[in-house]
Structure 1
């Protein structure tokens, strides 16, 4: 009898996901603190589901089990509580914090360096933002498969994903400064135009990304080297697509970040433009290839490079130190050039792909959730709202989402809204095209149109709120009217102080 005990080797984790959850300054006042309680961007609900839940579910569906979640220190308790109490998943989440402030946030490259010690040496990684909402047709598995194929074929070190922004018809409004939601135009933009990118559609290779300096020097023209055109005679160029900030990378990219003689802060604005240029120069590729672990690591690429079946002129050219050397190896096919430091790219053209970075994008994401709810209601026999108390003669549209433990009074009309949990809606209230976060109170006779109300906001009786975004904890006085404003608690407290001061003087 063989009593030898055999110990199975520990399975290698192919990928580790690194999720970056920042402050979300462009989503203020929704992400402004509610008293001493922070309001993390990662936990903002879209369709009554936290943003973080969307990206974690996408990661889990892609077969990745290990997650490093980076967040500001002040958000740790709220996010940790949500992960352990509100989520049902099989992920192993390593929550890491940084002592950041809203005014001193780090770039994606700097954050990645901080996360490096948490990524196993034998694991590649995927960088993702916490605000990514993927379309049904784009899976993380498809990005990972693209990266796997390119890595084996030609030494690819990273694969990026760019997406087409949502294009909406202009709103039928008299004002040219408002969007379809009624918000001022500046609320729906981050102030940065998408950079111009050049890629080869046939091989899925990212060839060039404009940097902010490139745009400042010459925003009307784009310089593309002859070495790109000779290797890829039919490149695509566009300034329409946006960077999803999803990057599948070899573990060696972390070493490359440290080996580069530049202090990179941003992956999109600095590192990836530099990496695209690096891949086009044979001399510079040789300089950094060892750091990127790209040369000699892939067995299939080695086999192709040393094949006796392939013609001898298919092998990569030796030597050459010119910056204008042919991109990806002296005219050889990328399939036989290990260590090309190629950057792959996936272009997602689905209209429902989005990042939720601005107030306008947040509002639009909730509108998409409403549309999906309406489609689901049409397919089902009836709309069920468990745990919701609805009084008689109340009208709710089929695309309205209502969270549990919410009460709705008599003769109230609600059309195309997302209402969170534990909300209290009074009698004769009219809600149209609005988003109400948890614990919101709307008293009798009030009207809310095209607005977003933060957590625990109170709207007084017969008040009117139109095209506003209201910070958590704010109280709108009875009969008060607000229109087209970003309303913060500081404004309200200031007005209370003035009233108190005038009363004391009397």
Structure 2
């Protein structure tokens, strides 16, 4: 190898290593965990959406553990006063006791997590505006209902290399049917309403539109500025937004000046991606304002020279504001569990081993009539019962001759003798009396289903209110 090639390789290694070791110093992660989960009724009648079990771990575990594994040393969890006690109890008391977290923390320092409550009933962009003074740098936004097992280092590297203002993560919908979990709660109109329409430059994945299908009619208007600066564009509607965003710090100044923007997903992100060229002149001022408290000199770790190139892009006006999309690798499973259908899918993914932090029961330890299970502590199981493809919570009692197929059973559930349940979700502290036959049913927490009940597609629970924060 030549000296030049060796030097180039060493330089690349220094930059990559520095970014992998120090990227968390540049980004402040924020997890939104204030959703009521109205689309998950009746599961969220009494349970907080962020704490719904996914493979027997609260959904919030997925976001926190992904951040911790990616090397972050601090994070903020944003919730609302009505959920503050429950979220704080999990973050400060239960999450540190998780076996995976404890195992990781034997070799690295724990991630410092702060729980912050914002005003009840406001939108996500309003919440971001409220906590702006606590955000010291460029930041990362993710939702507690996002279930994905992914190392974020590559995402943050791409954001820095592209000198992006916004990088959002998408995953491709409509994968081969054999790779998808079985759908038990299909709802075509609901799924369609959650689809996104994206306009992307295929070469570098520069994104110029991210709109909900519900807001798009027969035609899509594309501004002349976008057409003038991009020779090729692709319109897609099978990519879904993960609600995982990397943002420049100056965006907080935009929110301060545009108080009408209330939602991150519905208003802020579409505003940024569609008005990039228009915003560039204003952004020049906002970038300077957001950097007003910087020191005259900085101690820069070895190998981060490329970060000093950022000001050079200002000469390329009007291309200062740049938004990019990063497509999640096809071998990475990702869903936001904000509908019953997708909640079932993420639990099915746990059973199939698609999420690394979920562990199924060892096949050698399963009885003849038990197949592909995730079982919590303290299970009491009667004779001649059959369990197949189920997630069973802690301290459940299952009677004799019970058949469970494709069910999610949360903590402290009692199921009487001779019950047959197929594709059902039973929330915590519920009691299913003897000889019940339920198919594709959902049951709220602390419910009692009378003996000999036969039901299909029923929802047992109370009325529910409107959603909040990434609903």
Same fold (TM over 0.5): yes
Q: Helix, strand or coil for the counterpart of 1:445?
A: coil
Distance 2:405 2:218 in 1: 43
Say if 2:27 and 2:140, in contact at 8 Å, map to a contact too: yes
Quote how far apart the aligned CAs of 1:394 are: 6.8
Q: Helix, strand or coil for the counterpart of 1:341?
A: coil
Tell me the alpha carbon deviations over residues 104-130 of structure 1, each in whole angstroms, 9 at most, x when there is no partner: x3322112112212222xx22111000
Distance 1:247 1:128 in 2: 7
Tell me the alpha carbon deviations over residues 282-341 of structure 1, each in whole angstroms, 9 at most, x when there is no partner: xx4222322144999963144577xxxxxxxxx536xxxxxxxxx62xxxxxxxxxxx11
Say if 2:31 and 2:143, in contact at 8 Å, map to a contact too: yes
Tell me whether 1:149 sits opposite 2:161 in the alignment. Answer: yes
Tell me whether 1:487 sits opposite 2:437 in the alignment. Answer: no
Say if 2:145 and 2:338, in contact at 8 Å, map to a contact too: yes
Count the aligned residue pairs. Answer: 412
Task: Name the residue aligned to 1:263.
Answer: 260
Quote how far apart the aligned CAs of 1:207 are: 1.6
Task: Name the residue aligned to 1:231.
Answer: 229
Tell me whether 1:116 sits opposite 2:132 in the alignment. Answer: yes
Quote how far apart the aligned CAs of 1:190 are: 5.6
Quote how far apart the aligned CAs of 1:199 are: 1.5
Decide whether aligned partners of structure 1 residues 85 and 132 sit closer, same or farther in structure 2, where only a CA change above 3 A counts: same
Decide whether aligned partners of structure 1 residues 20 and 375 sit closer, same or farther in structure 2, where only a CA change above 3 A counts: closer
Quote how far apart the aligned CAs of 1:451 are: 0.4
Question: Which piece of structure 1 moves more, 341-350 or 482-491?
Answer: 482-491
Distance 1:12 1:484 in 2: 46
Q: Helix, strand or coil for the counterpart of 1:280?
A: helix
Task: Name the residue aligned to 1:428.
Answer: 401
Distance 1:357 1:459 in 2: 26
- Of 13, 28, 35, the match for 2:41: 28
Distance 1:374 1:108 in 2: 27
Quote how far apart the aligned CAs of 1:166 are: 5.5
Which of structures 1 and 2 has the larger relative contact order (alpha carbons within 8 angstroms, sep 6+)?
2
TM-score by length of 1: 0.74
Q: Helix, strand or coil for the counterpart of 1:32?
A: coil
Task: Name the residue aligned to 1:128.
Answer: 142
Tell me whether 1:195 sits opposite 2:196 in the alignment. Answer: yes
Say if 1:425 and 1:441, in contact at 8 Å, map to a contact too: yes
Distance 1:467 1:435 in 2: 11
Quote how far apart the aligned CAs of 1:243 are: 1.3
Quote how far apart the aligned CAs of 1:374 are: 12
Say if 1:443 and 1:461, in contact at 8 Å, map to a contact too: yes
Say if 2:40 and 2:339, in contact at 8 Å, map to a contact too: yes
Task: Name the residue aligned to 2:53.
Answer: 45
Decide whether aligned partners of structure 1 residues 383 and 263 sit closer, same or farther in structure 2, where only a CA change above 3 A counts: farther
Say if 2:400 and 2:416, in contact at 8 Å, map to a contact too: yes
Q: Helix, strand or coil for the counterpart of 1:70?
A: strand
Tell me whether 1:208 sits opposite 2:209 in the alignment. Answer: yes
Q: Helix, strand or coil for the counterpart of 1:19?
A: strand
Say if 1:165 and 1:353, in contact at 8 Å, map to a contact too: no
Distance 1:290 1:67 in 2: 28
Tell me whether 1:344 sits opposite 2:324 in the alignment. Answer: yes
- Segments of 5+ residues of structure 2 without an aligned counterpart are 1-22, 102-109, 295-306, 465-471
Task: Name the residue aligned to 2:302.
Answer: none
Say if 1:132 and 1:355, in contact at 8 Å, map to a contact too: yes
Decide whether aligned partners of structure 1 residues 373 and 60 sit closer, same or farther in structure 2, where only a CA change above 3 A counts: closer
Distance 2:362 2:260 in 1: 58
Say if 1:51 and 1:131, in contact at 8 Å, map to a contact too: yes
Quote how far apart the aligned CAs of 1:480 are: 1.2
Distance 1:471 1:242 in 2: 29
Tell me the alpha carbon deviations over residues 406-456 of structure 1, each in whole angstroms, 9 at most, x when there is no partner: 111111011111100100001110111100000011011111111000001
Say if 1:182 and 1:450, in contact at 8 Å, map to a contact too: yes
Decide whether aligned partners of structure 1 residues 431 and 213 sit closer, same or farther in structure 2, where only a CA change above 3 A counts: closer
Distance 1:377 1:161 in 2: 23
Say if 1:190 and 1:357, in contact at 8 Å, map to a contact too: no
Quote how far apart the aligned CAs of 1:206 are: 1.4
TM-score by length of 2: 0.79
Say if 1:468 and 1:486, in contact at 8 Å, map to a contact too: yes
Say if 1:16 and 1:65, in contact at 8 Å, map to a contact too: no
Say if 2:193 and 2:214, in contact at 8 Å, map to a contact too: no
Question: Which piece of structure 1 moves more, 61-70 or 425-434?
Answer: 61-70
Distance 1:112 1:377 in 2: 31
- Of 319, 329, 339, the match for 1:358: 339
Distance 1:108 1:198 in 2: 24
Distance 1:80 1:299 in 2: 39
Distance 2:463 2:219 in 1: 45
Q: Helix, strand or coil for the counterpart of 1:84?
A: helix
Task: Name the residue aligned to 1:274.
Answer: 271
Decide whether aligned partners of structure 1 residues 167 and 476 sit closer, same or farther in structure 2, where only a CA change above 3 A counts: farther
Quote how far apart the aligned CAs of 1:98 are: 3.2
Distance 1:125 1:28 in 2: 32
Answer with 1 or 2: which has the greater Rg.
1
Quote how far apart the aligned CAs of 1:272 are: 2.1
